Amino acid sequence: MPSTTDCPPAADPLMERDFFKQAMEACGDAVLITAPALDPPGPVILFANSAMASLTGYSVNELVGATPRLLQGPATDRAILEELKIALREKGSFAAQTVNYRKDGSSYIVEWVINPLLDDAGTVKAWVSVQRDVTIRLEEQKARERPQQRPIADA
């Protein structure tokens, strides 16, 4: 049975920070943590893991301090963004899919879940967003759903 000395001490901020960073990198999905402010220019990115950098083409340094709105573009579904805004104003969780854009301008379909981090008083301290590129999965699904094309026999 592991002893309590095998776990990082909860009171050691350096250990907590290292543990947090390792956990965010190990999860495999793209993760953003943003400040709680929702009004323009939008929430500021406080943390992005390397999977988020790989997904978007922006470096972690380029993402931190920016707003997630830099990933939006012409095909981003504005109705979904309005639903997101309503859910966040109500301190709720939100899950959806829409089109996002990489640094190079290429698009991808993102599936994401956003949850609030609340303090003891119920005030939003930050938002945690876990994201995944589902473009290939959706394209494969559409291909399977298409009616099979059959060659027309010569008469």
Query: Within a domain: residue 150?
Result: no
Range of the domain at 59: 28-145
Number of structural domains found in the chain: 1
Query: Within a domain: residue 17?
Result: no
Query: Within a domain: residue 23?
Result: no
List the beta bridge partners of residue 98. Answer: 110
CA atoms within 13 Å, Cβ hemisphere of 118? 11
Query: Within a domain: residue 69?
Result: yes
Please give the chain's pLDDT, 155 residues, in tens. 544 455 555 566 666 778 777 877 878 899 999 999 888 878 999 999 999 999 999 999 999 999 999 999 999 999 999 999 999 999 889 999 999 999 999 999 999 999 999 999 999 999 999 999 999 888 888 888 776 655 565 54
Residue pair 77/99 in contact by the 8 Å Cβ criterion: yes
Overall pTM > 0.75: yes
Residue pair 102/18 in contact by the 8 Å Cβ criterion: no
Residue 64's domain is classified under what CATH number?
3.30.450.20
